[in-house]
Structure 1
Amino acid sequence: MGKTSSPPQPPAHSEEVKLSFPQEHVMLLTFNRPKSLNAITPTMTSDIKTILDWFDNEPSLWVLVVTGEGRTFCAGADLFAWNKRQATQGGDGDQADVLGLPDGFASLSRRFPTSKPVIAAVNGGAYGGGMELILNCDIVIASADAKLALPEVKRGVVAVQGGMPRLARIAGHQLASEMLLTGKAITAQDAATRFGFVNQVVPKEKVISTALAWAAEINSNSPDSVQSTKRALLLAGRLGVEETVIAHINSAESKRQFRSENIQEGLRAFTEKRQPVWKNPAKL
C-alpha cells in the first residue's frame, strides 16, 4: 500500500461540512448540520463541489466515503431555503438550479467525471436529494434502522436530480414506480434485497467502520486499475457494450493504467509471491 504520509491539505470550506482522513488514501466527508438533519444548503453544495474538484485531482486520495453527522444521513434539500427561493423566483428558479448545477444535488447526485470510488455510509434516514446522491455512489453501506425515500411527490415537487433514471435502471420500472409514485419510505433491508442499491446492512454503530473496511479492500488493489474500471462502469451506464469498450480503451484512465508503474508492480508481485506496493496514480 505504500508508506503512510501526512494527509493532504484540503481547500477552505464552511463548518457545514467536515473532512477527515481516517486511513491512508481515504477521505471522509461528513454533512455537518445534525440539528437540521443534514439538509443541504447552497453553502454546502458550493463547499462540496470545491472539495470534490480538489479530491479528484489529488493523487494521494483514492476513495471517498460520505456520511452524515448525528442520527440522519441527509434529509434532502433545506426546505426553508427552498421556500424562500420559491417566493422570489418560483419554478423558474428551481429549473435554473437543475440546469445550472451539472453535478446535481449536493454536487454529488449527477457528478460524472470522478473515476475514484465513492462509498455512502448511510446512518439513519436518507430522503429526497439525500437518496438521489446515494444512487450515484458506487458502494452503499446502510444502518439497519435506515429509512430511504424519494418523497418529492408528497411535496408537489419531483426527483429531478438524477434519482429517477438511476433507480429505474437499478431496480426496474415497477419497483422504481413503487418508490417514486407513492413517495413512501423503504427499509435498508428492502433496499438491499428488493431494490438492489444497498450493498450491506449493518448496525448503526458499525456503518463507518464497515465503509472504511470496504475502502481498505478497494485500496488493496491498484488505484490505476480501480479508476480505469470505474470509468468503464460509468460509460456502461450511458453507452452500449461495443461503444463502452471503445470509449473506455480511449479514456485517459485506461491509457494511464496500461503505461503505469503499478501494472508492472502487480505482475512482479505475483511472480515473486508477495503483496504489491502500489504508488499514487499519475495526474490525468
Structure 2
Amino acid sequence: MTASFQPPAHSDQIRVSFPQEHVMLLTFNRPKALNAVTPTMTSDVKRIMDWFDQEPDLWVVVLTGEGRLFCAGADLVAWNDRQAGGGVQSDQSDIINEVDGFASLSRRFTTSKPVIAAVNGGAHGGGTEIVLNCDIVVASDDAKFALPEVKRGVVAVQGGMPRLARIAGHQLASELLLTGKTISATEAATRFGFVNQVVPKGKVVSAALAWATEINQNSPDSVQSTKRALLLSNWHGNIEDAVVAHIGSLESKRAFVCENIQEGLRAFVEKRKPSWKNPAKL
C-alpha cells in the first residue's frame, strides 16, 4: 500500500503526486509557457526535492512536464529584462549560488536517489540540462532536444556542457553546443547517448514508472550507494580516487551494515524474493 505523504507547500507551477509505492511524480505545470522555469518554480522544486531526499519511503522520482513540452528552459523575456537593467553580475552570482543548478535540478548532486526523466515533446536549453543530469531518460518519439544558447548570445552554464561532454564525448558535444542545433529523440538515444528509451507519444510517464518499478525491485540501500558511486565518478578523474571516496561515503557505509544486505543474502540462500526495508536516514 502506498504511504500517505504530506509534501511541503508549493505553488500551482508544479504538481506532486505518488503514483506507485516508493515513487514521487513531479510535474512542471506551466503548459501555456511550455514549462519555462520561473524563480517561483525553482523555489518550489528545491523545497520538494529537499523533502524527497529526506523521506525514507520515497526511493525514486520521475520528472515530467504538463502539455506538449517537457521544459523550454529559462524565460528569455525575463532574462532580457534583467540584462537591460544591468543584471549581468546578478546572473553570474545566481548561477554560483544556486548549487543545485537550473530549476534546482541540473546540478543536483546531493541526492543519491534515482531521478528519471519522462520527456514529452522535448526539452530546450535548461530543460535539456535537467535531462542530462537525470539517471534514466525516457523520451516520446516526437521529442526534440537542443542546447541553443549560442543562438541567443548566452551559454549553457548550468551543468549541461560538462555532462554532455562526458556522455557523448568532445566532438559530439561540440556538434550540439557550438551549433545550437536541434536533434530528435532517436539521435539523442543512438548518437549522443543520453536517452535510454524512446516510446510512443503519450507513453512516457507509464514507461518511466516501469523503470522505477524495475529499480525498486532492488535494495534501496544498494541502489543509493551505487548512484553515489556514479556521481563520484564525475567528480574524480582518477578511478582509485572515486573508489576510495565511494567507500567512505555515507551511502556506502550504510549499505554494508543495513538490514537490507542481510535480507538480500538470506533471501538468496533461501531461494525467495527479498523483502526490502526503507533505508535509514543518513
TM-score higher than 0.5: yes
Give me the whole-angstrom Cα distance separating, in 1, the residues matched to 2:66 and 2:4.
22
- The answer to whether structure 1 residue 79 and structure 2 residue 76 are counterparts is yes
Say if 1:46 and 1:89 are closer, same or farther in 2 by CA, change over 3 A: farther
Give the aligned residue type for 2:263.
E
Deviates more, 1:172-181 or 1:92-101: 92-101
Question: Which runs of 5 or more structure 1 residues have no equivalent in the other structure?
Answer: none
Give 3-state SS (helix, strand or coil) of 1:205's partner.
Answer: coil
In the TM superposition, residue 64 of structure 1 has moved relative to its aligned partner by 0.5
Q: 1:275 maps to what in 2?
A: 273
- The answer to whether structure 1 residue 134 and structure 2 residue 131 are counterparts is yes
TM-score scaled by structure 1? Answer: 0.97
In the TM superposition, residue 80 of structure 1 has moved relative to its aligned partner by 2.4
Give the aligned residue type for 1:278.
W
Question: Which runs of 5 or more structure 2 residues have no equivalent in the other structure?
Answer: none
Give the aligned residue type for 1:232.
A
Give 3-state SS (helix, strand or coil) of 1:89's partner.
Answer: coil
> Aligned pair count?
281
Give 3-state SS (helix, strand or coil) of 1:257's partner.
Answer: helix
- The answer to whether structure 1 residue 58 and structure 2 residue 78 are counterparts is no
- Judge conservation of contact 1:86–1:93 (CA < 8 Å) in 2: no
Superposed CA deviations along residues 20-77 of structure 1, whole A, max 9, x for unmatched, are: 0000000000000000000000000011011111000000000010000000000000
- Judge conservation of contact 2:15–2:26 (CA < 8 Å) in 1: yes
Structure 1 residue corresponding to 2:98, chosen from 101, 115, 118 = 101
Give me the whole-angstrom Cα distance separating, in 2, the residues matched to 1:180 and 1:61.
35
Give me the whole-angstrom Cα distance separating, in 1, the residues matched to 2:279 and 2:166.
31
- Judge conservation of contact 2:3–2:21 (CA < 8 Å) in 1: no
Q: How does 1:140-151 map to 2 (within 5 A)?
A: 140-151=137-148
State the superposition RMSD in angstroms: 0.8
TM-score scaled by structure 2? Answer: 0.98
Give me the whole-angstrom Cα distance separating, in 2, the residues matched to 1:232 and 1:274.
28
Give 3-state SS (helix, strand or coil) of 1:65's partner.
Answer: strand
Q: 2:243 maps to what in 1?
A: 245
Superposed CA deviations along residues 150-181 of structure 1, whole A, max 9, x for unmatched, are: 00011110000000011011111111111101
Give the aligned residue type for 2:148.
P
Q: How does 1:158-173 map to 2 (within 5 A)?
A: 158-173=155-170
Give the aligned residue type for 1:125.
G
Task: List 4+ stretches of structure 1 deviating above 4 A.
Answer: none
- Judge conservation of contact 2:2–2:20 (CA < 8 Å) in 1: no
Give me the whole-angstrom Cα distance separating, in 1, the residues matched to 2:277 and 2:134.
25
Give 3-state SS (helix, strand or coil) of 2:16's partner.
Answer: strand
Q: 1:195 maps to what in 2?
A: 192
